[in-house]
Chains A and B, each alone.
Chain A
Amino acid sequence: MMINKREFLVRAQLEDKTLEAWIQEEWLIPADLAGEMTFSDADVARVQLIRDLKNDLGINDQGVGVILNLVDQVHGLRRVLTELLQSVHNRA
């Protein structure tokens, strides 16, 4: 489900300024729907992940960027691996 910026800030319990900074850092990449920033459930969960990293795990901003990048790569790998396994099974 896609939500607009105001609803996102409420659901993610995020300040407008923080959101801007995180978008600047490319920690969050909102979708652009007819010129309006739009967010998904994945974005809300990603905010929670960033918060876990920063608050609970004590990781600094530099570290958060590195971790997000690696996590994104892992998900890319997982998806391609899934598809690869599927195509192997289809062929078998």
Chain B
Amino acid sequence: MKDPYETLGVERSASPDVIQKAYRRLAKKLHPDLNPGNKESEERFKEVSAAYDLLSDADKRARYDRGEIDASGAEKPRQHFYRDFASEAPAGHAYENYSGFADFADSDDILSELLRRRSNVHVRARGSDVRYELPIEFLDAVAGAVKRLTLPEGGTLDVTIPAGIQNGQVLRLRGKGRPGLGEGEPGDALVEISINPHSLFTREGNDIHMDLPITLSEAVLGGRVNVPTPTGSVTMTVPKGSNTGTVLRLRGKGVLRRDGGHGDELVKLKVMLPEQPDADLEAFVAGWQSGKAYDPRRDMQP
């Protein structure tokens, strides 16, 4: 048995206070439960506590100093430490906790699998994210809306669609995913938006495109026509001499942009002849000499 003063690293004349400080400093470093993986710490700790046991008792210390007892008699039997049970206990012991690395599990399959196996015990892991698909109407995507999503496992989720959302965009609803394990926070719901096509409008970026049929007289003479836009009809002037394929721009009638402005609506004109043959028109065109001189296919030589 080593000299207890040497074990604690104190002078023979050290005061009880100094001895206690020396012991605590060593014990904090060596306590087996604070060193679960260090086998040597247990032996060293036992030595240190035996030395302290002897030197902290004024009576025993005096007898030791006089040579009446030796250091070995002071050793207290101690069979086990907490760590012996913590490592041998069946998996998922009540005290064990995984919060020290639960975040790794989100991105690592092996770890998340190991953690899943203990999901019925004291695990604190964030819940997983859940993906949903939500088809919405074209006009809801333009103007924004609140849509109710019915969940496969029952229950509903209200999804706020921001105006101007793009097809395929994913909305993240914090905390609406799977519940966490233990005290872990829930995951997120990821809602992928698909936008249904519209019978009149198509969309390119923040601009709305549409084809607008006009009559022959509106094309030739010009005029004012009603044009549908996502926010209702507006009146637009068709200039005299407009043709099929002419594109007119309605400023600010498109989709909300990120900068707060709006895109435009681009109206492509399509000249329509009357649905029924018209005798007057036929008579006019038959006598229309300058019309016959115009060849729209003159540039189409292969």
Contact = CB atoms under 8 A, between A and B. Distances in A.
B288 interface: no
A49 B20 CA distance: 18
Interface of B is mostly: helix
Nearest to B99: A73
Interface in A56-75: 56-58, 67-69, 71-75
Contacts of B80: 41, 45
Range for the number of chain A residues in contact with chain B:
20 to 34
A40 B98 contact: no
B159 interface: no
Interface stretch (A2-10, A13-21, A77-85): A77-85
B27 A57 contact: yes
B31 A57 contact: yes
B114 interface: yes
A29 B82 contact: no
B31 A76 contact: no
A78 to B, nearest CB: 6
A25 interface: no
A67 B31 CA distance: 12
Contact of B82 (A49, A58, A76, A87): A49
B100 A73 contact: yes
B117 to A, nearest CB: 9
Q: What class of interface size applies to chain B in its complex with A?
A: 35 or more
A79 B91 contact: yes
Given A49-B81, A56-B49, A80-B111, A74 B36 contact: yes
A73 B86 CA distance: 11
Interface string B78-110: 001111111101010111111111000000001
Contact of A71 (B36, B49, B99): B36
Contact of A76 (B20, B24, B33, B100): B100
Contacts of A79: 87, 91, 96
A40 B28 CA distance: 26
Contacts of B24: 56-58
Contacts of A45: 80-82, 84-85
A78 B85 CA distance: 13
A71 B34 contact: yes
A67 B34 CA distance: 8
Contact of B36 (A42, A52, A75): A75
Contacts of A57: 24, 27-28, 31
Contacts of A46: 82, 85, 95
Contacts of A87: 110
Given A52-B31, A78-B36, A84 B114 contact: yes
Interface of B: 20, 23-24, 27-28, 31, 33-34, 36-37, 49, 52, 80-87, 89, 91, 93-101, 110-111, 114-115
16 contacts: A41-B80, A45-B82, A49-B33, A52-B31, A56-B23, A69-B97, A71-B86, A73-B97, A74-B100, A75-B83, A76-B96, A76-B98, A76-B101, A78-B87, A79-B87, A79-B96
Given A56-B49, A74-B100, A84-B110, 18 more contacts: A40-B85, A40-B89, A45-B81, A46-B82, A48-B81, A48-B82, A52-B31, A52-B33, A57-B24, A57-B27, A73-B98, A74-B36, A76-B98, A76-B99, A76-B100, A77-B98, A78-B37, A80-B98
- Closest 6 A/B residue pairs (Cβ): A42-B85, A73-B100, A49-B82, A45-B82, A75-B86, A76-B98
